[in-house]
Amino acid sequence: MEDLISLKQEKENEEPEETGQPWQEMAASSQDPEPGLSEPRESEQRPETGSQPRSSPPQSPHSRASTALADLTGPGTPSPPSFPQESFSTPSLPALARQDIGSPWQSDTTTNVIPEAGTVHSGHLEQSSDKGELTPHQTCQSEGNTFQQSQQTKHHVHGPKDVSHKNSKRKEPRFDIFREEDSNSNADLDQPEPGASEVTPSMLEIAIQNAKAYLLKTSSKSGLNTYDHLSNMLSKILDEHPENAVDIIENISQDVKMAHFSKKLDTLQDECEMLPIYEIAEKQKALFLQGNLEGADQELEDEIAEISLPNVMESAFYFEQAGVGLGTDETYRIFLALKQLTDTHPIQRCRFWGKILGLEMNYIVAEVEFREGEDEEELEEEDVTEERDNGNSDADEDELPKSFYKAPQAIPKEESRTGANKYVYFVCNEPGRPWVKLPSVTPAQIVIARKIKKFFTGRLDTPIVSYPPFPGNESNYLRAQIARISAGTHVSPLGFYQFGEEEGEEEEEVEGGRDSFEENPDFEGVRVIDLVESLSNWVHHVQHILPQGRCNWFNPIQKSEEEEEEEDEEKEEEEKGEEPDYIEQEVGPPLLTPVSEDLEIQNIPPWTTRLSSHLIPQYAVAVLRSNLWPGAYAFSNGKKFENFYIGWGHKYSPDSYTPPAPPSVYQEYPSGPAITEMDDPSVEDEQAFRAAQEAAVLPAEEGEETEEEEDEEDDYD
């Protein structure tokens, strides 16, 4: 502060003229010393008072200013002593302040504050930072402040704001003395000397009003104005009295701006918002820690773990080259979750199949092959369809006609480890959640899954409401879609898999084709370019699902040969239903068919091949993208390959989905006079009929009148 005072002295030396008048004015203002706490001031305080009150009141604003603003005691103390000492130096403070108030304010208001305007516009933050820096110097300006306040009728709360912002305005040129940045204000300091000497109260008033008008100018961008914002800010500071307000002044400014947008409707706050984050974090922490739990069996488990756990990170890396993937963190967590799966279940081989998106939650799917003989047995579900031939027709034989509807025989599902049930699938909603095993899929489910299109919700027990009615809930539908996607899109480079060599296998080929394959140990890899250019270098290694819903054809008529003899008689008697005598065997493309044989979808090729990177083709991988099942990807770098699915789980069709029409009404009952519909006879017909009947009865009546009379009397009762 000594420096400040000395500099002011220098300034003062340049302007000896100012001392008198401005000092008087300062004194007058200093009579109303309370910067922030007093009542509205009127402009009646004119510089009429004598010099004596000058010394004491100047001190009080200092002290008050210093109490109001935290760290100002230091600067406060040197200045009062300076007052009585030098007649020309003490007024330097107010003089300089005055000088700022005076013509610089009038004439150079704009230039003075243009640098500040910039700050105002771009953010009050900078200005408040200026303010923050200025607070140590505020006491020097306090007289000026009080003077300013005297000129303006202000709310008492606004007082300190005026102090601060006036300070800031005035401080700019002062600071520039130190910083030597703003030549404008330097020029200002020099310039107003002649002007300051001519300052009259009215010009001062005008200057202040200009200043205030400038501050009240609304921003062209946001509709706020500096004046209000500063007043809000300072009132907030004074209301809340935060610690070290100067350090967080920018945040306070920002909070005030934000508060502009939010309505204070409810002060209740939710405390439990963060809980689910912690929950899932805890669960996932368990994933990370599980590795430390193994003890003596580590060797054995390592051995098994090597075979069963896939290198998910490596596949994820390659898929990322193709632009497909879940992000490294997520993939790693899934990796750990898979490890947990393999540790808790006796799994021979496991693969990360993909992710199916749902409405409320998603599914992470793992394809698993259990070790030999360690299958978990499932509860067999009873067949829903019953043959009504043996139904409850015994009791109603005479009265009701018998329906000869025979439900089509349910096609039995394939055994586990064969066909569509070759692998077992586990799903979980998020890594860290427990894995749930999906039930095996039945052909009926696949057949109906082909006809409906529904979003997954994320909860496995959701019922599927659809037409045709899906036999099962969401877990079955999910399993059916997984089976379809696997059958349609799991491909591998040609030669990676080969058929196992077994004798006598060819004889059995007629029925279902080969269904087993093994890795080719002599596989030498296919060039990546070849993989991209020609689809015939890729083959399907999952069996195609026949329209029947199975991979291996099941002839329903064949199996029922035993029952046919019994039913033959019944069938001859009743009218036959609409069952064909002979069903053609459904044949699908055999295993390991090249992908080039896939059917096109209305002139759209079923697969899109791409090199993962055109910029560096030497290390690129070949990427196959399915157009039939959007979201199915396969990559290969020549030696390795992997399949992946990420999507909603639906097939692509260029036409819109139409639900199948309900079947026509079934001829359930034998037709005959008893149940054939006939029109009711009309009135004329009835009368004619009755007339005819009476005509027939009359001759007989004439012979036996007496008896009939009695009878008729009886009849008419």
Partner 1 sequence: MDAESLLLSLELASGSGQGLSPDRRASLLTSLMLVKRDYRYNRVLFWGRILGLVADYYIAQGLSEDQLAPRKTLYSLNCMEWSLLPPATEEMAMQTSVVKGRFMGDPSHEYEHTQLQKVHEGEKVFEEEVVVQIKEETRLVSIIDQIDKAVAVIPRGALFKTPFGPIHVNRTFEGLSLSEAKKLSSYFHFREPVELKNKTLLEKADLDPSLDFLDSLEHDIPKGSWSIQMERGNALVVLRSLLWPGLTFYHAPRTKNCGYIYVGTGEKNIDLPFML
Question: 17, 330, 343, 515: which one contacts partner 1 (CB under 8 A)?
Answer: 330
| H or E stretch covering 74 | helix 73-76
What is the contact mask toward partner 1 in residues 404 to 443, using x (rule: CB under 8 A)?
A: --------------------------x-------------
CA distance 25 to 144: 10
Question: 180, 239, 273, 572: which one contacts partner 1 (CB under 8 A)?
Answer: 273
| Residue 106: both structure tokens together | 């009038």
C-alpha gyration radius of the chain: 48
Question: 418, 627, 670, 708: which one contacts partner 1 (CB under 8 A)?
Answer: 627
User: Is there binding between residue 625 and partner 1 (CB under 8 A)?
Assistant: yes
| Minimal distance, residue 672 CB to partner 1, in Å | 42
Q: Which residues sit opposite 349 in a β-bridge?
A: 369
- Give the helix ranges, DSSP H, for 86-219: 92-101, 103-107, 109-122, 124-134, 138-151, 158-179, 183-190, 192-197, 201-216
Q: b vs e for 287-296, b when ≥16 Cβ sit within 10 Å of the residue's Cβ?
A: beeeeeeeee
Stretch that binds partner 1, among 193-201, 479-487, 527-535, 653-661 (CB under 8 A): 653-661
Q: Which is nearer to partner 1, 217 or 260 (CB)?
A: 260
Half-sphere exposure of 381 (CA within 13 A, CB side): 13
CA distance 635 to 492: 9
| Minimal distance, residue 120 CB to partner 1, in Å | 15
Q: Which is nearer to partner 1, 16 or 659 (CB)?
A: 659
Question: 202, 602, 664, 676: which one contacts partner 1 (CB under 8 A)?
Answer: 602
CA distances from 191 to 23, 99, 183, 195 (A): 19, 10, 12, 7
- Token pair 């030696």 is found at 639
User: Is there binding between residue 646 and partner 1 (CB under 8 A)?
Assistant: yes
Q: Which is nearer to partner 1, 213 or 281 (CB)?
A: 281
Question: 81, 408, 617, 659: which one contacts partner 1 (CB under 8 A)?
Answer: 659
User: Is there binding between residue 286 and partner 1 (CB under 8 A)?
Assistant: no
CA distance 72 to 167: 14
Question: 589, 630, 638, 670: which one contacts partner 1 (CB under 8 A)?
Answer: 630
Total residues binding partner 1 (CB under 8 A): 63
Query: Degrees (nearest 5) of the Cα angle 189, 194, 195?
Result: 80
Query: Degrees (nearest 5) of the Cα angle 339, 343, 345?
Result: 115
Stretch that binds partner 1, among 353-361, 377-385, 493-501, 556-564 (CB under 8 A): 353-361
Q: Which is nearer to partner 1, 261 or 716 (CB)?
A: 261
Phi and psi torsions of 605, nearest 5°: -65, 145
User: Is there binding between residue 463 and partner 1 (CB under 8 A)?
Assistant: no
User: Is there binding between residue 453 and partner 1 (CB under 8 A)?
Assistant: yes
Classify 418 in phi/psi space as left (phi over 0), alpha (psi -120 to 50) or beta. beta
Phi and psi torsions of 383, nearest 5°: -65, 130
| Minimal distance, residue 254 CB to partner 1, in Å | 6
| Minimal distance, residue 182 CB to partner 1, in Å | 26
CA distance 275 to 261: 28
Question: 307, 604, 691, 692: which one contacts partner 1 (CB under 8 A)?
Answer: 604
User: Is there binding between residue 361 and partner 1 (CB under 8 A)?
Assistant: yes
User: Is there binding between residue 320 and partner 1 (CB under 8 A)?
Assistant: yes
Q: Which is nearer to partner 1, 420 or 611 (CB)?
A: 611
User: Is there binding between residue 631 and partner 1 (CB under 8 A)?
Assistant: yes
Question: 33, 115, 325, 488: which one contacts partner 1 (CB under 8 A)?
Answer: 325
Question: 613, 638, 640, 669: which one contacts partner 1 (CB under 8 A)?
Answer: 613
User: Is there binding between residue 11 and partner 1 (CB under 8 A)?
Assistant: no
User: Is there binding between residue 278 and partner 1 (CB under 8 A)?
Assistant: yes
User: Is there binding between residue 258 and partner 1 (CB under 8 A)?
Assistant: yes
| 534 in Cβ contact with 596 (< 8 Å) | yes
CA distances from 152 to 145, 227, 518, 543, 600 (A): 11, 14, 94, 90, 84
CA distance 704 to 707: 6
Q: Which is nearer to partner 1, 390 or 656 (CB)?
A: 656
Closest CA to 625 of 491, 497, 449, 519: 491
Interface with partner 1 in residues 184-243 (CB under 8 A): 220-223
User: Is there binding between residue 516 and partner 1 (CB under 8 A)?
Assistant: no
Phi and psi torsions of 458, nearest 5°: 110, -10
Residues near partner 1, by CB under 8 A: 220-223, 254, 257-258, 260-261, 263, 270, 273-274, 276-281, 320-327, 330, 355, 357-362, 430, 452-455, 602, 604-605, 608, 612-616, 625, 627, 630-631, 646-648, 650, 652, 654-657, 659
